[in-house]
Structure 1
């Protein structure tokens, strides 16, 4: 049996008489990691060794001069890759060779002023972008060849780089105009439109807004400052409630939750560290169990975890992309290597 593309696949077996039926869900992935190399105006392409987790750098792919790529995402099938290009005000499109992972530049699309992070809905139908300078969320439909059609722009009255989607793909999360609440927008899958449906209780915040979603869909983790905020989430209404506030006192740029839902990792951008927390999946509450220091002179960006949950990868401004193994029993991270993907990294995506 061979997967026809990346993503979650359901395998259903039925007995010949139709009386017995079993279903198993698996995740198909390629083992490719892509990183925006913002100062080099390129995208790095790396290949993961499935046994060791170590990454090997392949050739980088150039963007337009002065593009400054920040955000990066792929479509669910692993055919197309998109970057939000901060300086040029574009979204760049690349086709992905699914046999080799090689990227081919395939056009640019206007994206407002200072586009940052972007994401694609689970069905591959729409792309949403945080346009920081335009103070808006921009919506695009995705054509069969990966090209984009601009649909609408939703004013946010603040310029922010972070945007997140719910696990079921029905909601977009963004900070409120005060920066002290998280708001949820319901996605209309007929036209890609967004409707604001929920506003969280207020929390202290200096403007940080990284959001991670729990695999069970019931909790949201906001990298607010000086304390992290944990919210409950109602998937039917989009409403949010306060679960806990956890003192952290470090600026969080990126975060990731382990696929098993038991571990939460924060990337402390200017404190040169990663904080590791255990999650109670029933209550959503967290407890610190490990802090990794020693990234001297680094401005840490984002962390991604491979779909099997065995390895994690850290984007670092010093040029060396870090590799970690993850202890499956206790969630501890162990540094196992690093590689230069062709320049300093801003963001990462696993395919």
Structure 2
């Protein structure tokens, strides 16, 4: 009986981690984060509680290996402060044990992901991608390749130089490096012999100049991509089935009555592939879209206030029932329940967390 109850209890819980900004110089109003937070979500009630913190400087974005054994975290800061990328082993209780770290040669690392046996991170200010081999024990070898983006865009304040903003894996051995200045998701493929990344310009996805391509998602078939424009508040839908990507739809995710700053942030797809969500800092909203089953184009369903300030990131759990928002500058995580038929959101709980930046599900 005790074993059955324990199994039911574990099944009704989910673990997630948050990155945070911890010190002066971070792009936050008052960075007072405690490092990497480990939290537990009750899948029945939507309540969350903190389990552990791991001290680290500005661990803004995190990623977890497919086998759920390892977590990787970057330090987002200028290179003269000696930023590193860290490899941790995930223990049974969610606590993190440090394996090792490697130096980041670049300014303001802002995103990272895993493709095959490589961890690739994007440096925003210096506009480069760095590739680190992942060893058999989950630790990181030194950087084995740097990819440097170059170019400018029409927004002279924000697009004065290349700004790599996201690494997005696709296929088995490919990735997109989404660059805010180039307004392009640049495609790369891992050479199986040399183990080096090679550019695949025929797969590049380019959106309207000045949009500020920040983050992207793809549908489950990888036939369509959705790219969020940070600077103009637009989503570009790309059909990838032809000889080259084609933009088939452009629409805004900014509420019509919003007249203030635009700061597009995160874009996520529901696990069922029927709904798309995009957040905007400024209006402090998440916009909800339905995805057409056939055309894969978007139709607006509504807007949900994030109930906080600066919704830099949010994420959806694998059940598709819960969405958690990291409200960076109001120091609060907000849990929303997702209506399975409509995709709409309903607030369920809140928890004070200092300067949260990223939500990463275990």
- Out of 220, 245, 251, the position equivalent to 1:215 is 220
Cα distance, 1:170 vs structure 2? 3.1
Whole-Å Cα distance in 2 between the matches of residues 42 and 176 of structure 1? 27
Query: Which consecutive unaligned segments of at least 5 residues does structure 1 have?
Result: 1-27
Within-5 A mapping of 1:124-273: 125-149=117-141, 150-157=143-150, 158-166=162-170, 168-175=171-178, 178-197=181-200, 198-224=203-229, 225-234=232-241, 239-249=244-254, 250-273=262-285
Structure 1: how far apart are the matches of 2:14 and 2:194?
A: 33
Instruction: Give the alignment of 1:1-351 within 5 angstroms.
Output: 31-39=14-22, 40=33, 42-63=35-56, 67-87=57-77, 88-97=82-91, 99-113=92-106, 114-121=108-115, 123=116, 125-149=117-141, 150-157=143-150, 158-166=162-170, 168-175=171-178, 178-197=181-200, 198-224=203-229, 225-234=232-241, 239-249=244-254, 250-293=262-305, 295-296=307-308, 298-317=309-328, 318-341=330-353, 343-351=354-362
Distance 1:190 1:334, change over 3 A: farther
| TM-score, length of structure 1 as denominator length | 0.83
Q: Cα–Cα, structure 1 residues 80 and 175, in superposed 2: closer, same or farther, change >3 Å?
A: closer
Mean Cα deviation higher: 248-257 or 54-63: 248-257
Matches of 1:337 and 1:175, distance apart in 2: 33
* Structure 1: distance between partners of 2:277 and 2:298: 11
Q: State the shift of 1:340 in Å.
A: 2.5
SS in 1 for 2:356: coil
The count of aligned residue pairs is 313
Give the whole-Å Cα distance in 1 for the aligned partners of 2:306 and 2:72. Answer: 32
Cα distance, 1:95 vs structure 2: 1.3
1:215–1:260 CA contact under 8 A, matched in 2: no
Gaps of at least 5 residues in structure 2 are 1-10, 23-32, 151-161, 255-261
Helix, strand or coil: the match of 2:60? Answer: strand
Instruction: Give TM-score scaled by structure 2 length.
Output: 0.80
> Residue 126 of structure 1 contacts residue 192 of structure 1 at CA under 8 Å; is this kept in 2?
no
What displacement does 1:102 show?
A: 1.0
Q: C-alpha root-mean-square deviation of aligned residues, in Å?
A: 2.2
**C-alpha separation between the residues in 1 aligned to 2:289 and 2:266?**
14
Q: Distance in 1 between matches of 2:120 and 2:126?
A: 14
The answer to which structure has the higher helix fraction is 2
